[in-house]
Structure 1
Amino acid sequence: MRAAPILALLLLLPACREEVAEAPPPVAMTDAALSHFCQMNIAEHGGPKGQIHLEGMPGPLFFAQVRDLVAYLKSPERDARVTAVYVSDMGRAASWALPGENNWTDANAAFFVVDAGVAGGMGAPEIVPFAARDGAEAFVAQYGGEIHSLDDIPDHAAIGPVDLDSVLEHPS
């Protein structure tokens, strides 16, 4: 007789599990996409871009620089649940000035070059994403820096004062 209540509880367990929603796909960057922090049109600025999808929001937050995206993710004041994060794959970008409208890659699987001394779309030092490690390694060979995963990007690369004298205008 004791098995019946235990069996009933076991049958209810799957109903108690939190449903994990499928990550939304990336959204193409258009001329109407505005950067979350500055509300400027991101298509007018070179360098890699980012987008963050939040639970309950109909569209992503766009970022004119990956540095800004990382700062947002590191912010202790953010309270919405992140459902997906995408960044420009600079290995597939036509150029620094034309980072691409649909060459997004999952930020959690990307390789990020930090401290390369290159300026992003808003002029601050940029964190440069690549879908493939060899793309990141080639960038480091040309511009310097270190390769990190999203979770391992040091705070100084995204948060804190910016030394504009230490960055190039943009990579060629």
Structure 2
Amino acid sequence: MKNTLRKSLILFLCALTLISCSERNANEQTIHQAAAIEAADECHLCGMMIMEFPGPKGELFKKGITEAEGKKVHKFCSTRDMFSFYLEPENKRNVTTILVHDMSKSPWNAPNDEYFIDARKAWFVAGSSKTGAMGATLASFSMQSDAQEFANEFGGNVLSFEEVTLATLM
């Protein structure tokens, strides 16, 4: 009887540990590697050619989308279009990775794909005089101090990822 109880307790603890690990992994964010923006790439939101416009670009991966399945990353001609897509409730809950250019390391007129950063950790300047595809966009930076320096020079407000809303994009 003691052995059966002991075995049951051990099995229960093992199962509890497995469930705990599974829940933790399900909540962890997956970070995918950035995909290079090619000359023929079109914005996932508006369909415009991405490389024809200045300013930071964005990329995002949705849950369950892998290269092995033949599906590609969603690419955007501007951070504004990327946020417009991401902030829709049906998209927000299904995104694993969001990447933007770090404009402290990349020229405004030709952002360098070597400088993509995790957008959730980035700082954004909304309302600056710098424009991207179709006008206003959000300048993206890895460091808050760089975002503030940009805002001091070109105007606008510094925001964290969580502070960007659909109203910010208007």
TM-score, structure 2 normalization: 0.82
Aligned length: 157
Which residue, out of 23, 30, 50, partners 1:42?
Answer: 50
Aligned to 2:142: 131
**Correspondences of 1:85-104 after superposition (within 5 Å):** 85-94=98-107, 96-104=108-116
**Cα deviation code 1:145-166 (max 9, x no counterpart):** 11111111143122x4xxxxxx
Note if 1:5 corresponds to 2:8.
Answer: yes
Q: Give distance in 1, aligned partners of 2:124 and 2:7.
A: 54
Larger Rg belongs to: 2
Which of 95, 107, 132 does residue 119 from structure 2 map onto? 107
Name the structure 2 match of 1:32.
Answer: 40
Instruction: Write the distance in 2 (CA, Å) between the matches of 1:47 and 1:102.
Output: 15
- Runs (5+) with no aligned partner, structure 2: none
Of residues 52-61 and 19-28 in structure 1, the stretch that sits farther from structure 2 once superposed is: 19-28
Displacement of 1:53 = 0.8
* SS at structure 2 position matched to 1:11: helix
CA displacement at 1:102 relative to structure 2:
2.2
Shift of 1:22: 4.0
1:54 aligns with 2:66: no
Q: Which moved more, 1:73-82 or 1:36-45?
A: 73-82
Question: 2:30 touches 2:97 (CA, 8 Å); kept in 1?
Answer: no
Query: In the alignment, is the contact (CA less than 8 A) between 2:87 and 2:165 conserved in 1?
Result: no
Instruction: Name the residue aligned to 1:142.
Output: 153
Compared with structure 1, are the counterparts of its residues 137 and 79 closer, same or farther at alpha carbon in structure 2 (3 Å cutoff)?
A: closer
* Structure with the largest fraction of helix: 2
Task: Give 1:134 deviation, angstroms.
Answer: 2.3
Identity of paired residues, percent? Answer: 26
Report the CA distance between 1:3 and its aligned residue: 3.6
RMSD: 1.9
How has the CA–CA distance of structure 1 residues 79 and 139 changed in structure 2, closer, same or farther, with 3 Å as cutoff? closer
Query: Equivalent residue of 2:132, what SS?
Result: coil
Task: Give 1:79 shift.
Answer: 6.8
Q: Is the 8 A contact 2:125 2:139 kept in 1?
A: yes
Instruction: Give the whole-Å Cα distance in 1 for the aligned partners of 2:118 and 2:91.
Output: 20
Of 82-91 and 22-31, deviating more is 22-31
Separation (CA, whole Å) in 2 of partners of 1:80 and 1:150: 15
Q: Offset at 1:80?
A: 6.3
